[in-house]
Amino acid sequence: MATNLNNPASNLQQQSILTLLDFSAEEIKQLLELAADMKNNPGAYYTHLAHRSLGMIFENASTRTRVSFEVAMTQMGGHSLFLSPRDMQIGRGEPIKDTAKVLSRYVDALMIRTNDHGKVEALADHADVPVINALTDLYHPCQALADLLTVQEQKGSFQGLKSAFIGDGNNVAHSWMIASVKMGMDAVLAAPEGYGPDPGVWKQIEQAAEQSGASVTRTRDPEEAAEGADVIYTDVWTSMGYEEEQAKRLAAFKGFMISEELTANAAKDYIFLHCLPAHREEEVAASVIDGPHSAVYDEAENRLHVQKAILASVIS
C-alpha cells in the first residue's frame, strides 16, 4: 500500500475511530495491511503527515498509548500535543462541546484516553476533526488492532482459529472479542460470575459474530475456554479505577491464572497475548508470559505500527 502515499485508506478519511463495531472486516483488513507495510517500509511514510498535528487528551496514565502515538506522529513528520485535564479548561468544567470546537480549529485529529465512553462520543459529536478512542471503560479499539496484527504475523491467517479471552470481561475483552469475530475467528470469553462483559456490548458482539459467521460463546470455566485455543488472551484482574476491589477480585478470579497447566490442552502452537502492564503470578504465570508462546512484546511494538496506520488513514 506504500504506492498510494497520498491516500493510504481513502474510505477511512475523516472518520472517527470509537469502536471496531463501526468497521467492516474489509476496512479492518485495510488498516492491518497498511500497518504491516508501515512496519516493513517505514521510510516510505516519513513525510506523510508533515505539518499535521494530533491533540492527545489523557485523563489517566499511559505508557504504550502515549509513546506509540507520539512516536507515530514523529515518524510520519507530524507533531503531537500531550493534553491533560489539569492543563486544560476541560478540567475546570469547560463543556466538551467548546473544547471540541476550539481544538478542531488547531489540530488535524484528536485522541482521547478516558474512563467514560460517553465523553469520547460527545467529543466526536462536536469535533470537526476525527476523534480516536485510545481507551474507555467500554472499548480499546487501538489495542485490538495491534492484537490482530500480531496474530496475523504469527499465524498468517485468522481463518479456522479459536480465540480465547480468559479473565475480566472489561474493555480489552470487549474489543478483542469484537475483533476476533469480525475477522472470522471463533471466540470464547471465560470470566467468573459477576465479572462478565457489559450486557449491551455482548449483544453487539453476538450480532457481529452472526454477521461474520463466527461462533462466540461465554463460560465460567477457564479450562473449557483454553481447550484447543490458538490464541489465549488475558488482562489484569484489577483495572485502573478498581484498586479498592483488589482483594475481592483476587478471590473471585482464583483458578483463572494463565498457567502452563491451564494451557496444556491449548493448540500446541498457541500464542499468548496481554495488553500490558502485567502482574506475573497473578493473572499470568511468569513461565507463560516469558515463555516461548508469548507474543506480548511483538504485540506492544505493533501498537506503534497500528497507530501510524490509523493516523495516516483518518487525517486528510
**279 among the known binding-site residues?**
no
**65 among the known binding-site residues?**
yes
Distances (CA, A) of 111 to 3, 68, 139, 166, 219: 27, 12, 14, 29, 34
**275 among the known binding-site residues?**
yes
**87 among the known binding-site residues?**
no
At 132 the three-state DSSP class reads strand
**143 among the known binding-site residues?**
yes
The number of beta carbons lying within 10 Å of the beta carbon of residue 23 is 20
The dihedral through the CA atoms of 267, 269, 273, 279 has a sign that is positive
DSSP 45-96: GTTTTTT-EEEEEESS--SHHHHHHHHHHHHTT-EEEEE-GGGSGGGGT--H
Question: Phi first, then psi: what are they for 273, rounded to 5°?
Answer: -120, 145
Which residues of the chain are under the pLDDT cut of 70? Answer: 1-10, 91
d(CA 172, CA 65): 14
**276 among the known binding-site residues?**
yes
**141 among the known binding-site residues?**
yes
Using DSSP, how many helices (H) and how many strands (E) does the chain show?
A: 11, 9
Residue pointed to by grid coordinates 517500509: 41
Active site residue 92: no
The catalytic residue among 37, 48, 75, 143 is 143
**152 among the known binding-site residues?**
no
Q: How much is the pLDDT for 91? A: 67
d(CA 91, CA 207): 37
Q: How much is the pLDDT for 238? A: 87
**Ordered domains of the chain (ranges, CATH):** 25-139+301-315 (3.40.50.1370), 142-299 (3.40.50.1370)
Pairing of strands 53-58, 79-83: parallel
Q: Which helix (H) or strand (E) holds 177?
A: helix 171-182
Q: With contact defined as beta carbons under 8 Å apart, do 193 and 221 qualify?
A: no
d(CA 35, CA 207): 27
The catalytic residue among 117, 174, 274, 303 is 303
Active site residue 303: yes
The catalytic residue among 48, 113, 249, 305 is 113
279-312 burial: b if 16+ Cβ within 10 Å, else e:
eeebbbbeebbeeebbbbeebbbbbbbbbbbbbb
The catalytic residue among 108, 235, 249, 307 is 235
Active site residue 13: no
The catalytic residue among 30, 108, 198, 275 is 275
The catalytic residue among 48, 117, 140, 174 is 140
Active site residue 140: yes
Q: What distance, in Å, lies between the first and last C-alpha atoms of the chain? A: 17
**74 among the known binding-site residues?**
no
Q: What is the CA radius of gyration of the chain?
A: 19
